[in-house]
Each structure stands twice: as C-alpha cells, then as structure tokens.
Amino acid sequence: MPEKPYTPPYSVTDAMIHLVAEISEQVGVVTVKNESAVNPHLRRDNQIRTIHSSLAIENNSLSLEQMTDVIHGKRVLGVPKEIREVKNAYEAYNLLLSFDPCHIDDLLKAHKILMLELTNESGRFRSGGAGVFAGSELVHMAPPAELVPKLISDLFHWVKNADTHPLIKSCLFHYEFEFIHPFADGNGRMGRMWQTLLLSRWKPVFHWLPVETLIRERQNEYYKVLALADKAADSTAFIEFMLRVIRDSLRELIQTEQVREQVTEQVERLMMVLGNETLSAKELLERLGLKHRPTFSINYLRPALELGLIEMTVPDKPNSSRQKYRAIKKTK
C-alpha cells in the first residue's frame, strides 16, 4: 500500500480566513500604488531593514547605520562574525528571487551563501542534535539529525503540491521548518527568508516589504507562539500570529504612503525653490522660510529623496558638512 503524503497538522479558522481576506485587499492597494512608483532607493532601504531585523533577532549587535555602511563597502568597527553575517545576508537576499522555493538544492545553496564562514556545515543538513532557544531557555528540541532529509523532503513535497492559499502555506512552512531545524545554525534566518520567497512568488511586493521588522518588534511573542504550537503539535496558532504580522506590516506601509501623499505640497515647494540649482540644507531652509530643521527633514527633504526627485551630492556620507542637493533630471 503506497505511503500517504505528509500533511502538516493545522486547522483553518475564522481568524485565518478574515486575515487572508484583509491581507489580500491590502496587497491590492499597495500593488496599485507602488508597483511602478516605489523607487529603487526605498526598496533597497527596506531590504536593509529586513536584514537588520532578521540578524538582530539572532543577536547581531550592529546598528542599522553600521549594516548600511557594511553593505556599501565601508569600513566598520565591529565583530568580524557580525560583519560577515551582514555581507552574507545581503548577498542571499539579492539572489532570493533566483531560488525555487520547492527545490531542496536551492535551499542548501541559499544556506551556504547565508552561513559562509559562519559554520562548518554551511550548505549541508546538520549532523548532530539541535534545539530552539529563547535566550537561555530551550523552547523546542529538534528531531534527530538522521530524520532531517526525509522530513524536509516531505515538507517540500507538500509545499509544491498542496492546494493551500499561499499566505497560509508560507506561514505553515515557516513553522514546520523551525520545527525540523534542519541546519546546525541559521535556521531562523533561513525560515524567515524562505517564507519571504514563498510570499514573493505569490505577490512581488513581498520581496521588499520588511515583514521581519515587525517580527523583531514581537520577538517574545514569536518564541511563545512557536512553543505553543509545539505543545499542541499543531501550527494553527503560529499561522494566525504570522498572518497578523503580515497584515500589520502592510497596514504600516499603507499608512506611510498616506503620510507621503499628504506632504506632496511641501515636496512641490521644495522642488520649486531648488530649481536647477545645487543647494545645501541650510540654503533650502532659508528659501523655504523654515527654521525647524526636523520639520524640513521629515516633510520636505526625506520624502523628496524617497520619491527619487532629488539626490545628494555626497551620497556615501549623508551627514557630510559638504552635503548639497540637486534635482534628478528625468530622461525621456
């Protein structure tokens, strides 16, 4: 008698159905507003935020500014291991869309990039035991190493063939992956990144949406719900948690866009006084008749930069005393 295909244990709840509907509606709004409008700088900044949050969950102490400097090839004083983590993560996320989320070989390839020089078993399933820790507390003991290849194979077969909504499927994969804990190190990073890949295959907006920023903000709840799902031998609670994270991340993005729309008048004023000249922040403040530097930065300068309307003359040193700004000429 043929072996029955593996199906992860979970239940579809009313909360899930409502969250999936709400997220789908939000994705529609974000896609219409942003698909052609979001400039490369904003996408890159969100990607760096994602990497910073994912590594911060794993106790990387580098600040967002330090990670940005590392990614831009600048010298940063820090723990070499943490600097290597940033470089690896940036390379892995840049290649993310080239991976097939249903191919185990691509999973191993991504892990090798992500954990290069950080573990002796990069790109290979673990050879020994492993556990999930919240600080010093063991919240999950992973299955024995010899079971990992079969468990991962079953999971990937389910991901490829299950007729399940991509939102639910991505969250369920995330939980099952962390339960199996297939690698000696880097499981949290890989699980979150692979969920992003699965979501990106559904809707491209998820490639640059920093969901992991909100996971970091709810890190304690993240570990608690992992432990709760373990105890219940059912991932329903974890799926609901992750769907709320995704919904809130989209909600935050939409609110940010609404604020940006509200300051359009200020941006237009900035562009008028700038004209074809190259001016410092001080000169722009004077021409706009403003005295409060934070207001100028939040309502005028930053939105114009994010919208790709102006550029810095010293982009590698945003806070340089020689910094000036000029309009970006549009090519036909």
Binding residues for ATP: 185-192, 222-223
Structure tokens at 53: 């949050």
Tally of residues, the chain = 332
181 is catalytic: yes
Query: Residue 35: how many CA atoms within 13 Å on its side-chain side?
Result: 7
Annotated binding residues: 185-192, 222-223
Residue in 111, 174, 181, 207 annotated catalytic: 181
Other C-beta atoms lying within 10 Å of the C-beta of residue 43: 14
Task: Determine the Cα–Cα distance for residues 59 and 61; give it in Å rounded to an integer.
Answer: 6
Query: What is the spatial distance between Cα 21 and Cα 12, in angstroms, rounded to a whole number?
Result: 13
Among all chains, which residue has been given the structure tokens 């723990």?
A: 79
Burial class (CB in 10 A: 0-12, 13-18, 19+), 89: buried
Q: Give the separation between CA 75 and CA 72, rounded to whole angstroms.
A: 9
**Element at 133 (helix H, strand E):** strand 131-134
**Residues contacting 271, CB < 8 A, separation 6+:** 304, 309, 310, 327
Point out the residues that are catalytic: 181
